[in-house]
Structure 1
Amino acid sequence: MPDRTICLCYRKIIDASSTRPWDKLVWDDSYVEFRLQAQNFNPENRYRSFGEILHYMPGAERLHFLVSGAVTGYVQQLSERMPDILNNLGRHFLRFERFQFELINSDLQDQSKHQVAVNFVSAPLHWHDTVGPFLLVSEATAVPAAGEVLTHLVQLQPFLSIYSIQKPESDASANAG
Structure 2
Amino acid sequence: MGIKIAYMMKGRIVALREIERIIGYLEGELRCKQATLGEALYNVSRKCSEPYNTWLNQLEEAVDGQAVELKDRTSYQDFFTMWSKSLEILKVSTLLNTRDINLLRGVGKALGYLDIESQLLNLDMEKELIHNTVLELDKDIGARMKNAIVLSFLGGILTVIALL
Give the number of the structure whose residues are more often strand, by fraction: 1
Q: TM (normalized to structure 1)?
A: 0.29
Give the number of the structure whose residues are more often helix, by fraction: 2
